[in-house]
């Protein structure tokens, strides 16, 4: 089977990442996957500051490409194509990685591959597969997106449901902010929840009884806000003793609804396999509950390997590799698209 080597750059938000992978449709080897996080830079602002992010990408990228080549132990001449994230994400951040990969492609006379970040998350559970991408019902849960898709094969995806307001990761981050926990909130809530009672607060499971596979997390976020004002920390009563129970109950509410909708979506498609990807999918409570629900419903569950759940360039290289093997390449005049939607990947049917 034909093998190819791809170098990819990911710079859609606050992580600068470069990865080199080699492989074919069935199996890939991650030769290097470098990620530098800017979390410390943005922490004091409680979220990502676009101007700071793009300046940092431009400073970090060049040494990171060199690091990736060094760790992969291959010369630049062995790269068959250069890929980069085109969207969705922050415009000024996307431009740095996208333009750099184009420059590498031109100067090395190799194809350029413009990649949708969400397709990277979507197929990332198969990055450690030995028999390629299998048909599955996919739950993608990140900071910006929450959606369920039916994947037939690479490039053939059907959107079954999505969030109508906040993404699950966004809800984690906003609730953490209310509780004055550091950014990003997801891992902090998971940590606090370990010492809490998940049934302490009956937070809502929005749209659970609706027949569709869409989500809504804004009501849950408001319910947490009301609970906090009832506990009234302003009168001097410390909120701290309640934090573990609030986090555990909130995490359970998110987990319950994600599992309920995804299992039902899989059943509606008679799908024997569910995959999970995106930043929120590294949450251990979510993984454990999904494993249990999968056993109960006789559906196999495949998780994205933990190191590739949050933003990384290996998943972008993985998409790039499949595009390259299909003979696809992107025109050098192609632009970034901060609001890139799913249509742009579904179109490849």
Q: What does the binding site for ligand KG4 look like in residue numbers (CB under 6 A)? A: 142-144, 169, 172-173, 184-187, 190, 278-280, 282-283, 310-311
Give the nearer residue to ligand KG4 in terms of CB position, either 5 or 92.
Answer: 92
Q: Which does 187 bind (CB under 5 to 8 A by kind): ligand KG4, Zn ion, none?
A: ligand KG4
- Interacting residues with Zn ion (CB under 5 A): 142, 311
Q: Which does 198 bind (CB under 5 to 8 A by kind): ligand KG4, Zn ion, none?
A: none
Q: Which does 172 bind (CB under 5 to 8 A by kind): Zn ion, ligand KG4, none?
A: ligand KG4
Number of Cα atoms under 13 Å in the Cβ half of residue 170:
12
Give the nearer residue to ligand KG4 in terms of CB position, either 92 or 283.
Answer: 283
Number of Cα atoms under 13 Å in the Cβ half of residue 116:
18
Strands (E), the chain: 4-10, 15-23, 28-37, 81-87, 112-116, 136-141, 146-153, 156-162, 273-277, 300-303
How near is the Cβ of 37 to ligand KG4 at its closest, in Å?
10
Q: Classify 27 as helix, strand or coil.
A: coil
How near is the Cβ of 303 to Zn ion at its closest, in Å?
16
Please list, in sequence order, all residues whose beta carbon lies within 8 angstroms of the beta carbon of residue 6, skipping any fewer than 6 positions away.
20, 21, 22, 79, 80, 81, 82, 83, 113, 317, 320, 321, 324
Strands (E), 213-288: 273-277
Task: Give the alpha-carbon dihedral of 310, 55, 188, 68, to 10 degrees.
Answer: 40
Q: Which does 120 bind (CB under 5 to 8 A by kind): Zn ion, ligand KG4, none?
A: none
How near is the Cβ of 14 to ligand KG4 at its closest, in Å?
9
Give the nearer residue to ligand KG4 in terms of CB position, either 5 or 146.
Answer: 146
Whether 20 contacts 9, CB under 8 Å: no
Q: Which does 119 bind (CB under 5 to 8 A by kind): ligand KG4, Zn ion, none?
A: none
Q: Which does 155 bind (CB under 5 to 8 A by kind): ligand KG4, Zn ion, none?
A: none
Please list, in sequence order, all residues whose beta carbon lies within 8 angstroms of the beta carbon of residue 81, skipping any fewer than 6 positions away.
4, 6, 7, 105, 110, 111, 112, 113, 320, 324, 329
How near is the Cβ of 298 to ligand KG4 at its closest, in Å?
27
Measured CA to CA, the distance from residue 98 to residue 276 in angstroms comes to 27
Cα–Cα separations (whole angstroms), residue 3 to 21, 22, 322, 325 = 10, 7, 11, 8
How near is the Cβ of 268 to ligand KG4 at its closest, in Å?
26
Give the nearer residue to ligand KG4 in terms of CB position, either 27 or 305.
Answer: 305
How near is the Cβ of 294 to ligand KG4 at its closest, in Å?
19
Give the nearer residue to ligand KG4 in terms of CB position, either 172 or 318.
Answer: 172
Q: Which does 282 bind (CB under 5 to 8 A by kind): ligand KG4, Zn ion, none?
A: ligand KG4
Give the nearer residue to ligand KG4 in terms of CB position, either 111 or 320.
Answer: 320
Containing H/E element for 173? helix 168-178
How near is the Cβ of 144 to ligand KG4 at its closest, in Å?
4
Give the nearer residue to Zn ion in terms of CB position, either 245 or 311.
Answer: 311
Give the nearer residue to ligand KG4 in terms of CB position, either 102 or 117.
Answer: 117
Q: Classify 310 as helix, strand or coil.
A: coil
Q: Which does 125 bind (CB under 5 to 8 A by kind): ligand KG4, Zn ion, none?
A: none
């Amino acid at each position: 089977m034909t093998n190819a080597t791809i170098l990819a750059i990911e710079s859609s938000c606050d992580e600068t990442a470069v990865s080199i992978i080699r492989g074919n449709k069935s199996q890939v080897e991650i030769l290097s996957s470098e990620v530098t996080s800017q979390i410390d830079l943005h922490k004091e602002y409680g979220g990502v500051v676009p101007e700071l992010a793009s300046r940092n990408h431009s400073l970090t990228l060049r040494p990171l490409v060199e690091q990736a080549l060094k760790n992969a132990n291959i010369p630049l001449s062995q790269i068959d194509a250069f890929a980069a994230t085109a969207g969705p994400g922050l415009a000024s951040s996307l431009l740095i990685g996208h333009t750099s990969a184009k420059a590498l492609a031109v100067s090395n006379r190799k194809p350029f591959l413009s990649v949708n970040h969400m397709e990277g998350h979507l197929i990332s559970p198969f990055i450690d597969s030995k028999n390629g991408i299998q048909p599955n019902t996919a739950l993608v849960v990140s900071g910006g997106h929450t959606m369920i898709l039916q994947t037939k094969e690479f490039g053939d995806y059907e959107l079954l449901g999505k969030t109508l307001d906040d993404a699950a990761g966004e809800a984690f981050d906003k609730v953490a902010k209310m509780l004055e926990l550091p950014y990003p909130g997801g891992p902090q809530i998971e940590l606090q929840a370990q010492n809490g009672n998940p049934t302490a607060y009956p937070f809502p499971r929005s749209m659970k009884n609706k027949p569709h596979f869409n989500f809504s997390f804004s009501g849950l976020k408001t319910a947490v806000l009301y609970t906090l004002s009832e506990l009234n920390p302003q009168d001097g009563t410390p909120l701290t003793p309640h934090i573990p129970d609030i986090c555990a109950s909130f995490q359970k509410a998110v987990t319950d609804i994600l599992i309920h909708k995804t299992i039902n979506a899989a059943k509606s498609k008679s799908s024997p396999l569910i995959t999970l990807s995106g930043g929120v999918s590294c949450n251990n409570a979510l993984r454990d509950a999904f494993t249990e629900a999968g056993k109960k419903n006789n559906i196999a569950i495949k998780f994205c390997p933990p190191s590739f759940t949050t933003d990384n360039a290996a998943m972008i290289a993985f998409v790039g590799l499949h595009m390259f093997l299909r003979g696809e390449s992107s025109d050098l005049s192609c632009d970034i698209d901060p609001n890139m939607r799913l249509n742009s990947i579904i179109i490849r049917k």
